């Protein structure tokens, strides 16, 4: 698309080679989505070490950053796209992610921890539309460039080693995903039971999608940790090995380092869990979460048409594994209702 060509031309124009040598330039793209006023712009500015005051993002904004891996090497480029308007402008997600860049693309979902009643809806709408769009691209690539399609699928499966007990129970996002819980300073004042439910749920969502998770606030040290996760994907920085799963502190969990047995069952009584009708573990957690935090009927922008009602977004991939997934879910529910210690995740 023309927007892309301009963006790339602009980023490349500033990247001349010394002595005209061609050196492989690492080029990645990130799309930031999430709650309105949730702090996406602030995080991007921190990643790029810019001192500007963040302005509200209206639609889709583009900026880029460049870093040299070593002295005198051409600079790597990272394209940063940001979707404004919360969940009201979902159709714009299709602009930055294309079949040309999907293999080097990552998504950063910024969720405002101070608004738990909007959390699930925001996460679900944004990830659903992004995933549908990426899956459409992958379906096309399977015909035109099967190697790339396979490489992308493999890469996402690699976050969890095959011998991880949850390998069969999770459903990794098709491209790398980072989930940031923002406004931890406000969240920290919440009742500890409330914090625990939200933290546990976000750990489950991240683990289920093969995502990394980090809580941030205005605190410099938290922003730096989140920036490390993002710049690992944007500029190939070293992957952080540190993990913090303590619910009384800010969570920090790089992809693949959590497990369902550590997260524990959804925060509800066994009898409640037994009664809930759900098709996937994710749906079960949603029901439990929304029991405590009923979704507010919030509309980001008045009179925006709901893309979920739009036929062009109809689910196009029939889930062949439905039967198997149902069986796995039953297994999950039975196990979640047992004491968590003797949990058996054997998918057979």
Query: Could you write out the DSSP letters of every residue in 57-126?
Result: --SEEEEEEEEESSTTSPEEEEEEEEE-STTTTGGGGGTT--TTTGGGEEEEEEEETT-HHHHHHHHHHH
The rounded distance, in Å, linking the Cα atoms of 242 and 273 is 33
Q: What is the pLDDT of residues 210-224, one digit of tens each?
A: 999 999 988 877 888
346 has pLDDT over 60 = no
Query: Quick check: is 56 in a domain?
Result: yes
Give the CATH number of the domain where residue 266 resides: 3.40.50.300
Q: Would residue 50 be called left, alpha or beta, if left means φ above 0 and alpha means ψ between -120 and 50 degrees? A: beta
The rounded distance, in Å, linking the Cα atoms of 250 and 79 is 28
202 has pLDDT over 50 = yes
Query: Quick check: is 220 in a domain?
Result: yes
Do 108 and 30 form a contact (C-beta atoms < 8 A)?
yes
Q: Which domain, by its residues, includes 109?
A: 24-292
Query: Quick check: is 33 in a domain?
Result: yes
Query: Quick check: is 168 in a domain?
Result: yes
Query: Quick check: is 324 in a domain?
Result: no
Q: Which residues pair with 179 in a beta bridge?
A: 109, 213
Q: How much is the average pLDDT of 190-210?
A: 95
Query: Quick check: is 300 in a domain?
Result: no
Q: What is the pLDDT of residues 264-289, one digit of tens each?
A: 999 888 778 888 888 888 999 999 99
133 has pLDDT over 90 = yes
pLDDT at residue 304 in the model: 45
Express the helix, strand and coil content of the chain in percent, nearest 5 each: 45, 15, 40
The larger pLDDT score, comparing residue 100 to residue 213, is at 213
Q: How much is the average pLDDT of 93-98?
A: 86
Q: Kindly state the tokens that stand for 108.
A: 């950063």
Q: Which residues pair with 33 in a beta bridge?
A: 109
The rounded distance, in Å, linking the Cα atoms of 261 and 343 is 7
pTM of the full structure: 0.80
150 has pLDDT over 60 = yes
Do 152 and 159 form a contact (C-beta atoms < 8 A)?
no
Query: Quick check: is 119 in a domain?
Result: yes
| Long-range CB pairs of 288-293, under 8 A, 24+ apart, other chains included | 288/201, 289/119, 289/120, 289/197, 289/201, 290/120, 292/194, 292/197, 292/267, 293/116, 293/117, 293/119, 293/120, 293/197, 293/198
pLDDT at residue 112 in the model: 95
Do 148 and 134 form a contact (C-beta atoms < 8 A)?
no
| Nearest to 170, CA basis, from 320, 332, 342 | 332
Distances (CA, A) of 45 to 93, 230, 268: 21, 12, 39
pLDDT at residue 334 in the model: 75
Domains contained in the chain, number:
1
Query: Quick check: is 242 in a domain?
Result: yes
Phi, psi at 75, each rounded to 5° = -85, 140
Check residue 309 and report its DSSP letter: G
């Amino acid at each position: 698309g023309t927007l892309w060509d301009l963006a790339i031309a602009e980023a490349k124009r500033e990247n001349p080679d010394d002595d005209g040598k061609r050196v492989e330039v690492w080029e990645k793209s990130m799309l930031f989505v999430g709650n309105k006023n949730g702090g996406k712009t602030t995080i991007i500015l921190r990643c790029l070490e810019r001192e500007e005051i963040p302005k509200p993002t209206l639609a889709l904004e583009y900026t880029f950053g460049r870093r040299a891996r070593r002295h005198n090497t051409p600079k790597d480029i990272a394209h940063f796209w940001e979707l404004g308007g919360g969940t009201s402008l979902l159709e714009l997600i299709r602009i930055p992610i294309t079949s040309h860049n999907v293999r080097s693309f990552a998504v950063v979902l910024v969720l405002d921890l101070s608004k738990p009643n909007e959390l699930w809806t925001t996460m679900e709408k944004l990830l659903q539309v992004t995933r549908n769009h990426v899956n459409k691209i992958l379906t096309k690539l399977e015909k035109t460039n099967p190697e790339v399609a396979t490489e992308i699928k493999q890469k996402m499966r690699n976050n969890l080693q095959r011998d991880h007990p949850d390998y069969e129970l999770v459903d990794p996002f098709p491209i790398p995903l980072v989930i940031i819980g923002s406004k931890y300073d406000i969240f920290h004042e919440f009742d500890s039971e409330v914090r625990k439910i939200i933290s546990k749920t976000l750990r489950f969502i991240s683990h289920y999608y093969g995502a990394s998770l980090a809580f941030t606030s205005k605190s410099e040290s938290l922003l730096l940790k989140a920036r490390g996760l993002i710049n690992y994907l944007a500029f190939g920085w070293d992957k952080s090995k540190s993990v913090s799963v303590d619910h009384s502190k800010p969570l920090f969990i790089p992809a693949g380092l959590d497990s369902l047995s550590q997260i524990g069952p959804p925060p509800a009584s066994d009898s409640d869990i037994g009664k809930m009708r759900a098709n996937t573990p994710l749906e079960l957690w949603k029901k439990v979460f929304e029991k405590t935090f009923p979704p507010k009927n919030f509309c980001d922008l008045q009179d925006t048409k709901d893309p979920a009602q739009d036929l062009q977004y109809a689910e196009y991939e029939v889930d062949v594994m439905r039967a198997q997934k149902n069986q796995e879910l039953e297994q999950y529910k039975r196990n979640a209702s047992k004491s968590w210690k003797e949990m058996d995740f054997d998918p057979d």
